[in-house]
Homo-oligomer: A and B are copies of this chain.
């Protein structure tokens, strides 16, 4: 769960395979497949190290794919070839392999999901060794085509290997991209499906079964093959056969893998198909005990492998585990949302919920338990989900539609507009919004959703800061909103540092003060912004500047007259957990600009002014000047005479 607190971090020490040992394994005098298997296990150990150290990361898919990634890098790829993962979630696995190959600095092992380190998903600007930015799903084949067409135009040659997930294949873009690859005869492309059969929440077959995948892909004019993707020898055989049989066609290899492969308890053998239980190792980090057991298991197997080959066991080095602290009284918005939705559904039979493979991350476990017949799992198919919801609304239902904010606001952007033009009501709930968690990186940091949804007709955009306000927003959406509503939810459990306002209902365009002061007004929404704004106000108070802090959950509809009167001539600072352009700050600024008051002397926007950094939550907020100190400094800088 991307927004969850980590299970790890309490381990006394973490262990990694040092560079010299990696170099030994890479050059091991052995059968290539046996060498690759040993190399992959060493890389698994370093994935565990990186993720445990970072406190989050995608172990399940890193482990299912790492035998493929290892084989390609050790035995297949030439200098002219490109390799990238379309899903990108398996970045720890890729980094681990690149580090072992000496293509990334070894020190980066300590910097997964840290500022200036290795982002949670691949990023070409911070990590030039990766080929393209991924993390958002379904774009891989399209990108491979673009590379091949550009290479052909430039007279360059080279193969493009692209790894995809299997849940990822639910995305329409994957299918959209197949036809022209075949029609143009882009034989340079080899797609490999990391077919681990588990997507974010559970079995792919339970979420949205893929059917006969090879038959489907072949019907699009591609050559296909199948192999055991956790067996380097079988992988080598299958790639060779496919290359010979493709005859000018693009190629797709279905590689049967096991999610979490290589650590028995991370493999999903015990997960009952068709049940409600969720797979536990898609993201997040292992707990201390899990970490120890996983390391022991891999070390033992790797030792056996090396012994069989007549080599010494691998030598691990130790590093101290980073200390971590959890908030004392956090607001947990996503569970609060899920509870409120399930409660509302008790009394409102028209309410149905649609999900895109993020039951846990959007708080829907409780809704599904209480209203299973009104829960629709759509898989990773946001366009399809929203258009279904639109039709359901026309047929008299009140659908609530869920995904991460970054995907929900953009992938089905036109489908949402289509629904809005029909005059019906749909509630869109986007979680994982804003800069934090900072670990997943910019593909998952939703700081553009307010802009992307900002001009939907009759749609209100709301961001609650507390569990209480979550319920108010959902109440308003279901009972009062004239049109559709987007509810923007910070996923990280977050401590406000102040007692949240507890009004009985929302008032359109207005908010509540959480602190009073005559020198300046700071306006914002959501727990991250308001906690930092409040703390900034406390810092400023120590310097004699007293700020009002306003919790304004309305991201678009702003009552400018109310705000201007409230400010009474004091400068207004808008803080946005969003790009400066198109965020709440714009809505506030323009609401003030169209007032007939000369009283507002100064409006300043504080927000995200570049592609979000990846790092710990503290690092990221600080890097973007959105921590308490940064906000206080910006306010102080505008009030030179006072501070």
Contact = CB atoms under 8 A, between A and B. Distances in A.
Interface string A372-386: 011010110101111
A125 B410 CA distance: 25
A457 B410 contact: no
Contacts of A411: 413-414
A133 B422 contact: yes
Interface string A565-588: 000000000000011011101110
Contacts of A257: none
B421 A442 contact: yes
A611 to B, nearest CB: 5
Contact of A451 (B144, B209, B455): B455
Contacts of A604: 594
A132 B448 contact: no
A589 interface: yes
A125 B422 contact: yes
Nearest to A383: B173
A640 to B, nearest CB: 12
A443 interface: yes
B216 A211 contact: no
Interface in A374-433: 374, 376, 378-379, 381, 383-392, 394-397, 406-407, 410-411, 413-415, 417-418, 420-423
**Chain A to chain B: the 5 pairs with minimum beta-carbon distance, closest first:** A146-B391, A172-B172, A172-B176, A175-B175, A142-B387
Given A418-B443, A455-B448, A581-B454, A423 B149 contact: no
Interface residues on A, range: 35 or more
Interface in A100-143: 123-125, 131-134, 136, 138-139, 142-143
Given A132-B390, A146-B395, A180-B379, 11 more contacts: A146-B388, A146-B391, A172-B172, A179-B210, A179-B379, A212-B219, A219-B219, A457-B579, A457-B610, A594-B604, A596-B602
Contacts of A179: 170, 208-211, 379, 381
Contacts of A216: 216, 219-220
A448 B456 contact: yes
Contacts of A379: 179-180
